[in-house]
Amino acid sequence: MTALFMIAFYYIYIQFRSQLENEFYESLRSKAFLTGEMLVGKIKSKEDTKHLTKPNNEHNPLSTENITIYDDNNTLLYSFSQANINVHREKLDQVRSNKEKRFVNDKYNSIGVLFKNKYGIEYVIVAESVFNYTQLNYLISILVWVYLLSLLLTTLAGWFFSGQALRPVNIIMNEVNGILPSDMTHRLHQSDQKDELSRLVQTFNSLLDRMQSVFENQKIFLSNISHELKNPLNVITSQIDISLNKNRTAEEYKSTLQSVYEDIVELNDVSSKLMQLSKINSDGSSIKFDKIRIDEILYQVKYNLEKSNPNNLLQIQIGNLPEKEDLIYYNGNEQLIKTAFHNILENSIKYGNGKQITVAIDFKNGKGAEITVKDNGIGIEENDLKNIFEPFFRAKNTSQIKGSGIGLSLVRSIFDLHGFILNVKSEKNIGSTFIITIPEKVIKK
Ligand code: ADP
């Protein structure tokens, strides 16, 4: 802004100066011609110039102007002032060749003109005077003052308007500083306007919503972990306490040890599931993927589960196998996929009322795959369905069956990591169906 002012003022100064100079030289020029006309205008031959006074005795010491006339030999014929300053021959020659020339002669600003009288005799007439800088200096001082004033005004206005413009930002910053992790319920004040700042406040508030829900979930998660670990530890401690407070038979010790062993196995299961869950959620990218075969994994899981459940409840059906063997392979981490299917199949046995369970793999002729695990067990209430993937959630109808509520959240994290889609359909007391869809794009080509 100030640079623009400076450029504008400089332009005004230059224009004014050139205007003044033009007027100054124009007046000198007409004086030069007038003098020429009067003194040498009617001279027929060089001899007639003798009457011209050289220098002129009528010199007025107060006059700052001088007019001199030179003949074609550069001889000074006439000078208006006694205190004339001789013009250099070179300058006179330049006037002659250019017909007119402006130049500076000592402290004078001069204009030289080539004057031809009516008999064709040429003279060089130089009119000179001291250029008056008073007006120019006056203009400069006005411009400097206006410039300083405008500088002051723009600084003040800039300071005032930027303060006004940034006021809402300052308010937002103060409000943000007041938000502490201990109270995540606080939100920024939202106005009804539709400007950028209101949108920023809205975005920030929705970020706070998400952060609050993560904070709360983590709190619940942590308190659940401590609860899940504390329960079996309490049971173990009291069992050992009871068996130690008096001498027991070998049978009694054996039964206590068996019960403690089962609790430790459960504890181990919970802690290993928690570790897997936190690894997937925090560092999923470091997990190695390889070629896996879902059908083989399912047979292995079935085999492992049937070691402790020998009722042969799981039935595997395979359909639409692709012609090319290559298309049967998928990209994934075998251990994690095994864990996921182990949890789903184990649940269908646990909650399956001892009835047949069908595990169907549809390879869709190589265009992705769909695995359906269908049991005819206790089922899940509609209200509970949306929660079964939340860590530590257990439906009410499972109170008689052991479990920690972590399995399905681990399953979901594993499938999310692989890009597999997991859906559940269930009806209480009828049964549940878990459907895992492997999109075509994750097939290993
Ligand atoms: P849990 O250790 O309790 O089995 P999961 O995370 O594996 O934990 O499952 C969470 C909840 O989902 C279970 O407590 C149960 O209420 C419900 N659930 C899971 N699978 C089934 C199923 N096949 N039939 C009925 N309910 C199920």
Query: Residue 67 in contact with residue 127, Cβ under 8 Å?
Result: yes
Structure tokens at 33: 């011609």
Question: Which residue has better confidence, 191 or 124?
Answer: 124
- Whole-number Å distance, alpha carbon 169 to ligand 1 midpoint, is 49
pLDDT value at 60 more than 60: no
CA of 215 to the centre of ligand 1 (A): 25
Ligand 1: centre distance to CA 402 (Å): 10
pLDDT at 288 over 80: yes
Task: Tell me, using a 6 A CB cutoff, whether residue 408 lines ligand 1.
Answer: yes
pLDDT greater than 90 at residue 294:
yes
If you average pLDDT over every residue of the chain, what do you get?
A: 88
> What proportions of the chain, in percent to the nearest 5, are helix, strand and coil?
55, 15, 30
pLDDT at 127 over 60: yes
Q: Would you say residue 297 has pLDDT above 90?
A: yes
Residue 62 is predicted with a pLDDT of: 53
pLDDT score for 93: 92
- Residues of the chain above pLDDT 90, percent: 52
Alpha helices in 284-364 (DSSP H): 294-308, 334-350
The string of pLDDT tens digits covering residues 167-208 is: 888 888 998 888 887 788 888 888 777 788 888 899 999 999
Pocket test for ligand 1, best of 398, 401, 410 (most atoms within 8 A of CB): 398
**pLDDT mean over 366-374:** 93
Mutate to test the pocket of ligand 1, among 228, 347, 394, 412 (most ligand atoms within 8 A of CB): 347
Ligand 1 pocket test target in 269, 376, 380, 436 with most atoms within 8 Å of CB:
380
Residue 281: pLDDT band with limits 50, 70, 90:
confident
Q: Which atom of ligand 1 is nearest to the CA of 384?
A: 16
Q: Give the confidence band of 161 by pLDDT, cuts at 50, 70, 90.
A: very high
How do 369-374 and 357-362 pair as beta strands?
antiparallel
Q: Give CA separation, 12 vs 6, 9, 15, 135, 138, in Å.
A: 10, 5, 5, 13, 13
Average pLDDT value for residue range 268-290: 86
pLDDT in tens, 379-400: 999 999 999 999 889 999 998 8
Which of 66-75, 250-259, 426-435 is predicted with the least confidence, judged by mean pLDDT? 66-75
Q: How confident is the model at residue 232 (pLDDT cuts 50, 70, 90)?
A: confident
The residue whose CA is least distant from atom 4 of ligand 1 is: 403
Q: Which of 41-55, 67-81, 225-239, 370-384 has the highest mean pLDDT?
A: 370-384
CA distances to 35, 46, 102, 106 from 113, rounded to whole Å, are 12, 19, 9, 18
100/93 Cα distance (integer angstroms): 10
**Strand, helix or coil for residue 332:** strand
For ligand 1, the distance from its centroid to the CA atom of residue 393, given in whole angstroms, is 8
Spatial separation of the C-alpha atoms in residues 333 and 437, rounded to whole Å:
16
Give the number of other Cβ atoms within 10 Å of residue 93's Cβ.
Answer: 14
**Residue 86 has what DSSP assignment?**
P
Instruction: Quote the CA–CA distance of 376 and 353 in Å, as a whole number.
Output: 7
Q: Is 352 helix (H, G, I), strand (E, B) or coil?
A: coil
CA of 425 to the centre of ligand 1 (A): 13
Instruction: End-to-end CA distance of the chain: give it in Å, rounded.
Output: 64
Which residue did the predictor score with more confidence, 175 or 281?
Answer: 175
Q: Tell me, using a 6 A CB cutoff, whether residue 391 lines ligand 1.
A: no
For residue 180, the 8-state DSSP code is B
Range 252-272 average pLDDT = 91
Q: Is the pLDDT of residue 18 over 70?
A: yes
85: pLDDT confidence band, cut at 50, 70 and 90?
A: low
Check whether 64 has a pLDDT greater than 80.
Answer: no
E-assigned strand segments in 130-235: none
What average pLDDT does range 121-128 have in this prediction?
A: 92
How confident is residue 30, by pLDDT bands cut at 50, 70 and 90?
Answer: very high
Is residue 423 classed as helix, strand or coil in its secondary structure?
Answer: strand
Proportion of the chain above pLDDT 70, given as a percent: 94
Q: Write down the residue that tokens 């009722």 correspond to.
A: 311
What's the pLDDT score for residue 445? 45
Region 222-248: what's the mean pLDDT?
88
| Alpha carbon distance 252, 248 (integer Å) | 6
Ligand 1 pocket, residue 411 CB under 6 Å = no
Residue 61 has a pLDDT of 53
